[in-house]
Amino acid sequence: MSVTADLEQLKQAFPDAILQTTEFRGEHTLKVALSSLHEVLEKCLALDYQLLLDISSLDHFGDDPRFEVVYELASLDDRRHLRIKAAVSEDESVPTATDLWAGADWHEREVWDMMGIRFAGHPNLKRILMWEGYPFFPLRKDFPLAGRPSEMPDVAFTGVAPLEGGPFVTSSGTDDVARREPRAHVVE
């Protein structure tokens, strides 16, 4: 089988759920409706995408839907790779994939912890990097680069960051996307 043949099977099985397919430099991406995401992932598993390499998310701050979840799948022989994306608004939750891949557990917990995207049906959806009760989601684009004040100085501090003035800098106040990205600090 090839990824192209797999894509055709997925399109036939889910004609209304597949919103877009793209191929760029040999990488294939499927954008699917959130309502059919679990069924599409289940079909991918049946097509022998037995490895869930990663679950990540994107914050399209200012757009609606705001978020996108991204699943990176591969076959055991590492010959076929497939990326599945689904758009998620702030008030929606994503169906868990822990019933399909046990390794989805920690990936989904990290996405919840860093971006605040909930996974419906997850057996243990709690923070994995930040402490319980932390009220913010640090990888959201509206989270300030300087951080937020903390009531827990032993765990989080609001003083000078250890890498302040270090090798990378950003310009968060500019409208120019390229200038906002971290880049090498120029020392004169």
The CA angle 39-126-40, to the nearest 5 degrees, is: 10
pTM of the entire structure?
A: 0.80
**CA atoms of 100 and 50, how far apart (whole Å):** 9
In this predicted model, what pLDDT tens digit does every residue of 90-143 receive, in sequence order?
999 999 999 999 999 999 999 999 999 999 999 999 999 988 888 889 999 988
Mean predicted confidence (pLDDT) in 52-64? 96
| DSSP letter for each residue of 61-83 | TTSSS-EEEEEEEE-TTS--EEE
Going by C-alpha positions, the residue among 41, 59, 63 that lies closest to residue 50 is 41
The domain containing residue 185 runs over which residues? 144-188
Q: What is the mean predicted confidence (pLDDT) over 138-149? A: 82
| Region class of 74: left (phi > 0), else alpha (psi between -120 and 50), else beta | beta
User: What is the pLDDT, as a whole number, of residue 60?
Assistant: 95
pLDDT of residue 185 exceeding 60, the answer is no
3-state secondary structure of 23: strand
- Same domain? For 154 and 94 the reply is no
User: What confidence score (pLDDT) does residue 116 get?
Assistant: 96
Q: How many domains does the chain have?
A: 2
Tell which of 100, 122, 138 closes a domain: 138
Q: 173 pLDDT band (50/70/90 cuts)? A: low
What pLDDT score was predicted for residue 162?
53
- Give the pLDDT score at 131: 84
CATH number at residue 104: 3.30.460.80
Structure tokens at 144: 């300030």
Largest alpha-carbon pair distance within the chain?
60
